[in-house]
Chain A
Amino acid sequence: MEKARISASQLFVLIVLFQLSNSFLLSLGINGKQDAWLIILIAMAISMVLFFVYYALYQYHPGILPTEYIEELIGKLLGRTLAFLYILYFITIASRVLRDIGETLVTFAYPETPLFVMNALMIFVVVYTVYKGIENIARTGELLVVIMFLLILSIFLLVVLTGLIDTSNLQPVLENPSTVMKTVFTETLYVPFGEIIIFTMIFSYLTQPKKVIKAGVLAISVTGVILAITMALNISVLGVMLTSRSYFPMLTTIQSIEVGEFLERLDVFFILVLVIGGFFKVTVYTYGAVIGTASLFKFKEPSKLAYPLGIVILILSMIIASSYAEHIQEGLKVFPLYVHIPFQVIIPVSLLLIAFVKNRKK
């Protein structure tokens, strides 16, 4: 573990940027049709319970990394194996997000540029940031969160000013409650909200550990509300059919902005949000993988691992799927069920139960 400290407000910024990232651009919870915004809000509320579970686990073992306390809880062999699996999980998700960003940029902005170049450029920046440590990541976050909020606010304002919003597209509300709950528990709860499990790797760097809950809950609320507004805007502007068929509904919404016949073609807003958010998500995941590996394999200088793991993430992002369609299919159908649910819900809850029983005996 490196000797660094971040404040609660920096944790708030990191969680907000991390969760907004590519989720802002995808059609979250669209299986629930016009209730997608409601799905996001419900998932947000339930994810707070998950956050409490992660925080409770940290409170049983303050100041140490999850890779270390897993070992304390379930024994050396099993604990180390589980910690290693978590590191693999972080690397996999980092490479998936990297592929997401690369594919999106290649699809609509740089059709002549190869995917590998896009991913390589992004991973170079990520490797450099991770090499510099968590304090630098947090400070970069403080700078970029302002730009991110300004961009999102201007997108919302311009869409409203264009007069494209048709609220009848959002009706009827809660038409099919069972579909809403099914979508919450099979998709939206895990991406983006459950992904905050990576922050368990960062809790131990906080100067005021007591403020973790406050910062976390506030960040989840802010992100949930922004994402819900975004989906409500997308559906009210494009309608349910177009939103569900579009890979990037936010891009389509932004492209329809036209104020005073001169303010149009604002695709650059989309690129900026995508690159800033995506950069943060990949950085935080890579950082988690790097410090996790360093603690598990007893490396004195975690920064030395940044480049090798960066290259692993880069190559993996290329071979993870043969096409974007397959990549999305895997992300929606396979990953939530076989990867996210065990790593974000089942294992942490089981660990908390074990910690509770062990500490009760004491």
Chain B
Amino acid sequence: MKILGISLFMFILLAGISLGFDLLQGFNLSTILKTFNPLYVMELPELTVLCLLILILILRPVFSFLQKRQEKKR
């Protein structure tokens, strides 16, 4: 869970910094939101792969967390 939290924190920070750089270049908000263009144009197979990757990322720590909790209960 700690890994997941740190990764998420880093991602949010980095995405924010990336948007900040766009602001620094003088773009307005509607143009900045176009930064997500490569995600909007994704087709179903690509989105499926992306979701699968994120699911694997989430499931592993969640399972290990649950396992540890069960062991503690015993």
Contact = CB atoms under 8 A, between A and B. Distances in A.
B54 to A, nearest CB: 7
B30 to A, nearest CB: 12
Nearest to B41: A114
B24 A92 contact: no
Q: Which secondary structure dominates chain B's binding surface?
A: helix
Interface stretch (A130-138, A213-221, A248-256, A303-311): A303-311
A117 B37 CA distance: 15
B3 A116 contact: no
B25 A333 contact: yes
Contacts, number: 85
A326 to B, nearest CB: 8
Nearest to A323: B37
Interface of B: 2-4, 6-7, 10-11, 13-15, 17-18, 21, 24-25, 34-39, 42-43, 46, 49-50, 53-54, 56-57, 60
B14 A91 contact: yes
Interface string A278-319: 000000000000000100010100001101110110111011
Given A117-B46, A304-B3, A319 B39 contact: yes
A115 interface: yes
Interface of A: 87-88, 91-92, 95, 114-117, 120, 293, 297, 299, 304-305, 307-309, 311-312, 314-316, 318-323, 326, 329-330, 333-334, 338
Given A91-B14, A120-B49, A307-B57, A312 B21 contact: no
Given A319-B39, A338-B24, A308 B3 contact: yes
Nearest to A308: B7
Contacts of B56: 307
Nearest to B54: A311
A321 B32 CA distance: 9
Contacts of A320: 18, 35
Contacts of B14: 88, 91-92, 95, 312, 316
Contact of B38 (A115, A120, A307): A115
Contacts of B46: 114, 116-117
14 contacts: A88-B14, A92-B14, A116-B50, A293-B6, A299-B3, A304-B3, A308-B57, A309-B10, A312-B10, A312-B14, A319-B38, A322-B34, A326-B35, A333-B25
A91 B15 CA distance: 11
A297 B35 contact: no
Contacts of A314: 53
Contacts of A92: 14, 17-18
A305 B37 CA distance: 28
Contacts of A330: 21, 25
A93 B50 CA distance: 21
B4 to A, nearest CB: 7
Nearest to A321: B35
B49 A322 contact: no
Given A308-B3, A322-B35, A315 B11 contact: yes
